[in-house]
Amino acid sequence: MAPSVQQLPEDILVASIEKLAITKEAPTAAVKEVEVPKEVEAPNAEAPKEAAKDAPKVKRQIEIEGGKTDAKYPQYLPTWNHGQKYPPLEPFTHVEHGKGADPTFKDLLPEGSKIKKLTPSTGSEVTGVQLSKLTAAGKDQLALLVAQRKVVAFRDQDFADLPLQEALDFGGYFGRHHIHPTSGSPEDFPELHIVHRYGATGSEFDSFLANRNSSVSWHSDVTYELQTPGTTFLYIFDSPETGGDTLFANQVEAYNRLSEPLKERLHGLKAVHSGFEQAQFSRDRDGVVRREPVKHEHPLIRTHPATGEKALFVNSGFTRSIVGLKKEESDALLAFLLNHIGRGVDYQARVSWEPKTVVVWDNRITVHTATADWSTGERRHLARITPQAEIPFETPYVKPETVTKA
């Protein structure tokens, strides 16, 4: 289906579902919430007292769970503070640490560590490395490795056990922290984007799926910003015994698969990426909007600053139209490109979450989707660190050299 500003962006829907907080004590509310995803009020919340009327509303997951929780990392449970308001983002100069990094990865992958490919083109899994102990050279090589492999899962990490500020300090090496305009975050750490789903039952999930065929929603994070995220981190606290995998599609390979005439035509085009629908979706459900929404035009084909690879840069979450094309043309071309990306199982990777896993992806050259495929009520709880990178840029189309047979 062609994207449309009237259409509910699936990215927003999944984000809301993931942070949906439903107590098992409130099954009626739970069903209602799945039908119209939003953050849930505390079931026992009293009417605000007169004196507290002017205080900003703060919803806390821990209170929604009755003041006690079996979450393994309660310090990472989300809060939603309606008093948090941030000014528009200012441009900043991004330093791309993957550029010029040592391609032997000797500081990132020392002797004894192991790396294996998840699929030939996309994704790797690493064991025997402790990210939190990396030197600056190791971090530079991390940015390069992730740019090359698009997504890398690091197992057995101590990241979740670090003080929250230390985890942020680590991520801040790779770019300026993005504060998400509509997500929940740990109190006093708005830079941490929390992904959280808890307490769903089979009937709630049935209710959700009644109007949708699938929870799959390919997107790159917050591409409506002028400087979109680059090397991005997601780490796990709780996950269902099975299910809740995250899938990644390789946008470099999606570009490579196109015919040369189409590649050449797409170069020079720009697309509109909008955050307005996400903000409105949150407002409509009494969610937070911490920064006024923006939209930006980005090249349809962007070049990675470290590898020089070209990638398709459109996603169903936020890309609304192609600049300069008439509506039917724009809708048709976007629909083709988004369908092409979504069906490319031969350039995608599926990451299964194990305890103590940190997944690092390059948000410039991938799209991803969560998989809401479990209905056991088990908690899925993760935190994202989202360093912003350069303003997307493109380099000219280069025709492949003609191979002449001897």
**Residue numbers at the binding site for Fe ion (CB under 5 A):** 221
Task: Annotate 228-240 with three-state secondary structure.
Answer: CECEEEEEEEECC
DSSP 159: G
Q: Which is nearer to Fe ion, 10 or 221 (CB)?
A: 221
- Residue 159 or 248 having the CB closest to Fe ion: 248
Q: Which residues contact 393 (CB under 8 A, 6 or more apart)?
A: 299, 302, 303, 305
Helix 202-209 × helix 27-35 angle, to 10° = 20
Smallest gap, in angstroms, from Cβ of residue 13 to Fe ion? 12
Identify which of residues 13 and 42 has a Cβ nearer to Fe ion in the complex: 13
Nearer to Fe ion, 219 or 290 (CB): 219
Q: Report the residue number, 149 or 384, with the smaller CB distance to Fe ion.
A: 384
Structure tokens at 169: 């300090």
CB within 8 Å of 387: residues ≥ 6 apart: 171, 172, 173, 174, 175, 176, 177, 178, 229, 230, 231, 232
Q: Report which secondary-structure segment, H or E, holds 336.
A: helix 327-342
Provide, rounded to whole angstroms, the least separation between the CB of residue 25 and Fe ion: 30
Contact 232, 151 (CB under 8 A): no
Cβ 287 to Fe ion, closest distance in Å?
A: 17
Q: Are the C-beta atoms of residues 247 and 367 closer than 8 Å to each other? A: no
Least distance (Å) between residue 129 CB and Fe ion = 24
- CB closer to Fe ion out of 193 and 270: 193
Nearer to Fe ion by Cβ, of 61 and 363: the residue is 363
Give the C-alpha separation, 176 to 192, whole Å: 12
Instruction: Tell the smallest beta-carbon distance from residue 326 to Fe ion (Å).
Output: 31
Cα gap 238→196, rounded to integer Å: 9
Which C-beta is closer to Fe ion: that of 263 or that of 290? 290
Q: Which single residue is written with the structure tokens 């799945």? A: 34
Give least dist CB 135 to Fe ion, A. 29
CB of residue 221 to Fe ion, shortest distance in Å: 5
Q: How far is the CB of 368 from Fe ion (least distance, A)?
A: 6
Cβ neighbors of 240 (< 8 A, separation 6 or more) are 374, 376, 378, 379, 380
Q: Which residues pair with 229 in a beta bridge?
A: 388
Residue sitting closest to Fe ion (CB): 221
